[in-house]
Amino acid sequence: MVSLFDPIKLGAIEARNRIFMAPMTRARATADHAPTAIMAEYYRQRASAGLILTEAIGISLQGLAWPYAPGIWNSAQVQAWRTVTDAVHAAGGRIVAQLWHMGRLTHTSFPGRGRPVSASATTAPGLAQTYDGKLPYEEARALHLDEIPAIIDQFANAARNAIQAGFDGVQIHAANGYLLDQFLRSSSNLRSDSYGGSVENRIRILLDVTLAVAQSIGAGRTSVRLSPNGEIKGINDDHPEELFVAAAKMLSKLGIAFLEIREPDFAGTNGKADRPPIAPLMRAAFRGPLVLNSDYDAAKAQAALDAGHANAISFGRPFIANPDLPGRFARRAALKSTDSASWYGRGAEGYTEL
């Protein structure tokens, strides 16, 4: 029987265990979105994870509007990321860059961003995190059909930059209400062209982006994250089973390294799923390694492997206060808790000093 502590091959990536670190924004980059020395130490401390999935990394100035979040569109950022990947590799770890375009969740208060863009002219609910504090989201403009190829190219260029920076692969962020998710879901995609309407059309941009990235760095170093169940950042879908099974089938045909699914616990008190899990349907449609995320502890994670529901599990917040999480699981040691006040701080407290 497969254990959380067994190695796994993900396309071209060899992971030494199946306890992965999930992507988490931590806001320790510079105002110019370059990684910092403290980020290298943070990721190095967590190199015992079978695979580190980085915090979301902006693919362009247009697509990034989170204070002190990192990017990977210019040479200075690429060079700074090299210090991070070198530190992780020196500690025996593997690390994948999550590539991010925020879509309608950007804000014009960030210099050079312009009006937010999305699948359609819609407005996210709630408040944006900005350098000027929390401000209401603004109405996005719909991307013109002739603008979409540039977005696809930005993902492919970011993937090439990630490999140049020493990453073992990339993850395309198509989850959590950001740009690609805004195209996928019916409540935020009101288009009537070849990128809107039918499920086939709404998954087209994910197909185009994934294909471009895979052609740039190899399908064996390309992965995708999806969040199929429940409203997130103001978007949802009328028929998510149909949508996300179609997306899983499409990604399976492309032969990507793995698919990660973030799906809140339907029965749990912390979950926000609005219907029974969709991941099992996607599991049947996707032939490659499947990684599940959200609301797992060690026992539930092992049970998911035992049942064949997943090949690995990614853990987010447990890794914040427990950089040695695989070792703690192995020893069955108690886990430390995390203070949310330190999640987006600028210093070492709650980050590298725990």
Amino acid at position 146, single letter: D
Q: Token match 């670190």: residue?
A: 21
Query: How far is Cα 223 from Cα 252, in angstroms, rounded to an integer?
Result: 11
- Is 178 known to be catalytic? yes
Two structure tokens written together for 122: 């819609």
Give the 3-state secondary structure of residue 284.
helix
Per annotation, catalytic residue among 137, 178, 195, 296: 178
Contact of 254 with 211, CB cutoff 8 Å: yes
Give the 3-state secondary structure of residue 173.
strand
Kindly state the helix (H) or strand (E) to which residue 10 belongs, with its residue range. Answer: strand 8-10
CB crowding 245-255: b at 16 or more within 10 Å, else e:
bbbbebbeebe
Q: CA-based Rg of the chain, rounded to a whole angstrom?
A: 19
Strand 169-173 and strand 222-226: the pairing is parallel
Two structure tokens written together for 204: 């087209």
Amino acid at position 65, single letter: A
Instruction: Cite the DSSP H helix spans in the chain.
Output: 37-45, 75-90, 148-164, 179-184, 199-202, 204-217, 240-254, 279-285, 298-306, 317-321, 325-331
Contact of 325 with 18, CB cutoff 8 Å: no
Two structure tokens written together for 280: 């099992």
Two structure tokens written together for 232: 């997130």
Query: How far is Cα 210 from Cα 169, in angstroms, rounded to an integer?
Result: 13
3-state secondary structure labels for all residues of 307-318: CCCCCEEEECHH
What residues act catalytically?
A: 178
